[in-house]
Amino acid sequence: MTQAEAGLLVQAGPEILLFDCGHLIPERLAQLGIFSVSKVFLTHLHSDHTEGLPILWMNELTWESRGSTPLQVFGPGEDPPNQPAGTADLTSDVANDYATNTHIRRDLVEHLPAGGIEFQTTEISQGVVYQNNGVTVTAFLVDHDPVMPAFGYRVDYAGHSVVFSGDTTEPSNLIQYAQGTDVLIHEVLINPPGATDATDVILGYHTTPEQAAAVFNQVKPGLAVYTHIVDQVGGGGSYLIGRTQAAGYNGPLAVGTDLTSITIGSTITVSPCASITTPIITAVTTSKYHPASPLAAR
């Protein structure tokens, strides 16, 4: 309950963009007082990257906050045999599964706006997938085999950028697309010493600290940030940083935690959030964040 699944919120000018929407991501957004997200970019269709999407779509507050704007979802298409369904299948099935809820809340009782409960789904390929208000979002293929296609994303705005690896192994394609970026947010798996693909079934499609260090050294971002931290040894952030530095990367590095805020401008600042305790919606009480959200009661 103290750590949500995959989700990265990017605010660039007037644009509010969400990358992945795993379990507890809508609740984390509620802690920030953010309910009007209308653009979601999925890296791939694993459950830990999509479980929060139905809540973001149909919760009364998020629905009402979108008004007549549909929830735009960008993500991979199907690629049989390993990916028998794509993003359009996902959103279509969610809409069908909750058709009763939609009918009652839209047509019979609450009369919530009809446009806000629509999906607008785009299945993407590598390249620019979104441009508006000076913001450009570029998708690039990453290696998360057997999950194919899987994407990372780069967001450019006002001469600055952030790159999100998505789930991947050590990727040459990411290195190309991340050149010149201010912030590189990268997944990591902290594997036990001596683990191999044969002894650790998920090692083969994630990135070790040593592999990430090699990526960071080639990209040279203004700041590297770890996310999606699969800690198989219980070493924590200091151990993760230590292994990365021991592998030869000594540039700026941070370990992400829920509700960490990173501001990119003439300088890059990192503001960790206060510790999250149960109940999660009311845990954050500093003036920087909304202390309680009506989402918990709805």
pLDDT digits (tens, 9 = 90+) for 53-89: 999 999 999 999 999 999 999 999 999 999 999 999 9
- Checking if the pLDDT of 90 tops 80, the result is yes
pLDDT, tens digit, for every residue of 97-111?
Answer: 999 999 999 999 999
Q: Quick one: which of 135, 138, 133 has its CA closest to 74?
A: 138
pLDDT, tens digit, for every residue of 225-269?
Answer: 999 999 999 999 999 999 999 999 999 999 999 999 999 999 999
Q: How many CB atoms lie within 10 A of CB 254?
A: 19
- Checking if the pLDDT of 284 tops 70, the result is no
Compute the distance between CA of residue 201 and CA of residue 115 in angstroms, rounded to an integer: 43
Residue 22, SS3?
Answer: coil
Tell me the DSSP string of 187-203.
Answer: EEEEPPTT--TTT-TTG
Superfamily of domain 8-290: Ribonuclease Z/Hydroxyacylglutathione hydrolase-like (3.60.15.10)
Compute the distance between CA of residue 233 and CA of residue 255 in angstroms, rounded to an integer: 16
206 within 8 A of 187, measured Cβ to Cβ: yes
What pLDDT score does 275 carry? 59
What pLDDT score does 291 carry? 38
What pLDDT score does 228 carry? 95
Q: Structure pTM?
A: 0.90
Compute the distance between CA of residue 249 and CA of residue 245 in angstroms, rounded to an integer: 5
pLDDT, tens digit, for every residue of 171-182?
Answer: 789 999 999 999
Stretch 196-209: mean pLDDT, rounded?
88
For the chain, strand residue ranges (E) read 8-12, 15-19, 39-41, 71-75, 119-123, 127-132, 135-144, 147-157, 160-164, 183-190, 223-231, 253-255, 261-264, 268-271
- Which of 17-26, 32-41, 103-112, 192-201 is predicted with the least confidence, judged by mean pLDDT? 192-201
- Checking if the pLDDT of 280 tops 70, the result is no
140 within 8 A of 126, measured Cβ to Cβ: yes
User: What are the structure tokens assigned to 233, written together?
Assistant: 């040894």
Compute the distance between CA of residue 31 and CA of residue 33 in angstroms, rounded to an integer: 5
Helices (H), the chain: 25-31, 53-58, 60-66, 87-97, 99-103, 172-177, 209-219, 236-246
The number of CA neighbours under 13 Å toward the Cβ of 153 is 25
- Checking if the pLDDT of 190 tops 80, the result is yes
- Checking if the pLDDT of 288 tops 60, the result is no
What pLDDT score does 158 carry? 97
What pLDDT score does 286 carry? 34
User: What are the structure tokens assigned to 181, written together?
Assistant: 């970026």
- Checking if the pLDDT of 197 tops 90, the result is no
Residues with Cβ < 8 Å from 51, sequence gap 6 or more? Answer: 5, 21, 22, 23
